Amino acid sequence: MTETAISQHGCSDRIDAAVSPRGTLELLSQLEVDRLRQVRDSSVYELFRRCALAVLNCDDSTDDAAEVYARYADFGIEIEHRARGIKLHLKNAPACAFVDGTVMNGVRDHLFAVLRDMVFLSGEVEALAAARALSSDEEDLLTRNLVFNFLRNAGLLRPRLQPRLVVCWGGHSIGRAEYLYSKAVGYQLGLRGLDICTGCGPGAMKGPMKGATIGHAKQRNREGRYIGISEPGIIAAESPNPIVNHLVVMPDIEKRLEAFVRLGHGIIVFPGGVGTLEEILFLVGTLMDPRNADVCLPVIFTAGPGSEDYFAGIDEFLVSTLGEDVRRHYRVIVNDPVAVARAMREGMEAVVNNRRATRDAFYYNWLLHIPPEMKRHFVVNHTSMAGLDLRRSLPPAELVCNLRRAFSGIVAGNVKEAGIHMIRDHGPFQLHGDADVLQAMDRLLQGFVAQGRMKLGGRAYNPCYQIN
């Protein structure tokens, strides 16, 4: 069917449209249609509406989710059920998602990927609730399978592919030079046949994908995969970039992080802000667990010209809080995209040998053990943030989990709608702990502020936290 679209009330930045699926959700059983009806009548619907708006708002330059939702408060989306499938009716949708009145194909794919994941989420709500009442081992098994089911339902698990998926983390608010460096690394990865997975947004999440498209094209690789993994709380602040050809929206930040490390075969980290540091802490906290001694997951920190000192600061922070042993789990390569790509290509060979030796799957890292507290959902509010124990005397496994939660709360206060409202209503989050730990955090965060890593477009940053 051809979509029709009209300007709403003469406003050039709003469009009404009817959109049909393509490639996903085209063939639905009556049971699946019934589940879609249930979405419309449940709390999941508002989640779907907001995620759909984030996808349609594809050219925005803000990372303030509350601002986006307020600007498009009149946006509406309705699901029409037909005998042969479904159609979405959009009201007051952002005009940037359309060309001559027709929705862009990439945006359409992302829109129905969101619907697919919201429908699946509606069927997994009971499992998520049950996880809170289970033992640690039972909860670990449940969440491993839940993440697996989300990724399988999204069509991301490819059992016959050799390991070649590189997860790239980094900031959404980075300068031009850092973006170009991430693109150069992606180009070298693409030349070597490696696929890219990121958080799906702008900046260092877009650069590696864009570079890889050129590398894949030069090698006549038409099967390149550009996977974006998001979650409802962050997607409005980091709308999917147009290169993403496989999008999945996980239920929360912890499931998103678990999806990265179980789906990916290697991880490259570029300079970023608080969200990137949260990812790093989740990663090193997992790899430091003795039960992962036999797991192979190559990790590279890399930065380009002008950012050479960035990972020196990260390394100093990790060592000062977690000890020297943390350095065993990552390698730093500065200003050398070719060396990064070669090291990751060699890492893929090590992953193949390791998965064969341990009889783990190529497409999903079942044997990786993620500490229960690291993967348990952290509800951010002023009480939970103030209650975090940030003392050096804690076992490293406990301290790294609390540090990740602290930075997760700061991410919420920076860009997530609920967190932004908390800060506006009740003031900054309060963090407590040992002076040396808090001072190390403060040095790092003040450096991020000075380098403009907290907000897009160079806008002034008002801290959402106070260190006491």
As averages over each run of 10 residues, the pLDDT of the chain (468 residues) reads 44 83 68 68 79 86 73 89 79 92 92 87 69 71 89 92 96 90 98 97 94 98 95 83 94 93 98 92 95 96 92 93 94 97 98 96 95 88 96 92 93 85 94 92 86 67 83
Res 139: pLDDT: 76
Strand partners, 303: 334
Element (H, E) at 426: helix 417-426
Res 229: pLDDT: 96
Residue 319 is encoded by which pair of tokens?
Answer: 């060592």
Measured in whole angstroms, how far is the alpha carbon of residue 188 from the centre of its chain?
23
Res 235: pLDDT: 85
Res 239: pLDDT: 84
Res 1: pLDDT: 38
Question: Per-domain residue ranges for the chain?
Answer: 5-133, 134-468
Res 86: pLDDT: 81
Cα 138 from Cα 144, distance rounded (Å): 10
Radius of gyration of the CA atoms of the chain, in A = 22
Q: For Cα atoms 129, 134, 138, give the angle at the middle one, nearest 5 degrees.
A: 115
Res 9: pLDDT: 42
Choose the CATH number for 5-133 among 1.10.10.10, 3.30.1850.10, 3.40.640.10, 3.40.50.720: 3.30.1850.10
Res 334: pLDDT: 96
Cα 412 from Cα 460, distance rounded (Å): 17
**Short-list 454, 443, 293, CA closest to 367:** 293
Res 211: pLDDT: 98
Cα 13 from Cα 96, distance rounded (Å): 7
Res 6: pLDDT: 46
Strands of 266-269's sheet, edge to edge?
246-249, 226-230, 195-198, 165-169, 266-269, 299-303, 331-334
8 Å CB contact between 198 and 205: yes
8 Å CB contact between 72 and 11: no
* Amino acid in position 146: L
Res 289: pLDDT: 93
Domain at 134-468, CATH class: alpha beta
Res 107: pLDDT: 93
* Amino acid in position 37: R
For the chain, counts of helices (H) and of strands (E): 16, 15
Res 62: pLDDT: 66
* Amino acid in position 305: P
The four Cα atoms 31, 32, 36, 42 give a dihedral, to 10 degrees, of 60
User: DSSP string spanning 233-252?
Assistant: TTTTTSPPPTT-SEEEE-SS
